Structure 1
Amino acid sequence: MDSEARTFPPRPILGVQAVYARQSSCPADFAMVTVDFEPREGGIAFQVAADLDIGGWDHRSGISRSDIATFHTALDSGVREALAELGVGTTAAVSVVLRSMRVHELDSHAKAFRAAGHVAVRNALALAYEPSPGPRRRRT
């Protein structure tokens, strides 16, 4: 990794998927999100898309609108925590837009969405800075 100062994200990173699922016991954990990381002038902004797609949720589920708002807040917290842990020389100047989320009426909770925020940042960093796999040579 180079030692030059850099800003995250270096370019728009769209459609980053993050899943946090743990089913080793009851209760289990489940959160699935798709977010966009878009450059901005400075700081960190979290937005929920106006056309947010929420899978697994309707008026009959055990999840309320208040729960959904709590999940948004938890995701925002997880993203901010992970961005605060960026290495020396990397500055976050990002707008994070929540595009879709999937919930489970029993296994989704704030801690799972907070963890999904960490996963989303890790996935976006990999997309931004890890070398993309080049064409593979065919062996003859």
Structure 2
Amino acid sequence: MTKLTFAAHPFLLGFDELERLVERTAKSGNDGYPPFNIEQSSENGFRITLAVAGFREADIAITVEDRQLMIRGRQADEVDEGRVFLHRGIAARAFQRSFVLAEGVEVAGAVLENGLLHVDLTRAVPDKIVQTIRITKG
């Protein structure tokens, strides 16, 4: 008996990549740091907001490859000889967050303000084209 996978369903022609995207999303292994919000900012716009207190613009890299948005943060190791922490509760560890983007969704920009990184996304509205297929004799 052959195992029928999600992408092998006869009504889902051309969606072979969907199963791979679902697996990649499940394996992302995000540990909850940094916390983030995803909101719909307009009919075709979204905003991902990450709490990145203590990170500077130079400490954060945002890339998109193969429809995967990757946000990485690594603070520079600054040695302050005169500082002695009695309690250090502000996380300064590196992070990596990934989000799989749907086809047609693009990054419009990113802004870092007040310890929050806002990444704006837009979805291109496809043109609605009705195509008539001509039938020929074999």
TM-score band, normalised by the shorter chain?
A: under 0.3
TM-score (norm 1): 0.26
**Greater RCO structure (CA 8 Å; 6+ sep):** 1
TM-score (norm 2): 0.26
Higher normalized helix content (fraction of residues):
1
